[in-house]
Amino acid sequence: MIALVLCAEALNTALERTVDLLEPERHPLARDAKDLGAAGVLIASLFALIVGLIVFAPRIFGLFFRK
């Protein structure tokens, strides 16, 4: 999952640099493209968090709530 987030971040960086190259001035569509790339990274990060909770939550709860 960490690798997925890093790949999403690398793709987002490539997208942002390409948009900057093609449209150096501020433009609403360029802004939207960058925002969508950042949203993809956020979604990947949230799924990584969910997977982390699924994997580690039972052990963490087991440490705090032993019978």
For the record, the structure tokens of 34 come out as: 């960058």
Tell me how crowded residue 42 is: count the other CB atoms within 10 A of its CB: 13
| DSSP code, position 25 | S
User: pTM to 2 decimals?
Assistant: 0.83
Identify which has the larger pLDDT, 62 or 67: 62
3 state DSSP class of 49: helix
Across the chain, what does the average pLDDT equal? 94
Domain range list for the chain: 2-64
What mean pLDDT comes out for the span 14-36? 95
Choose which CATH entry (1.10.940.10, 1.10.287.3610, 3.40.50.1980, 1.10.3210.10) describes domain 2-64. 1.10.287.3610
3 state DSSP class of 6: helix
Q: pLDDT over 90 for what percent of the chain?
A: 87
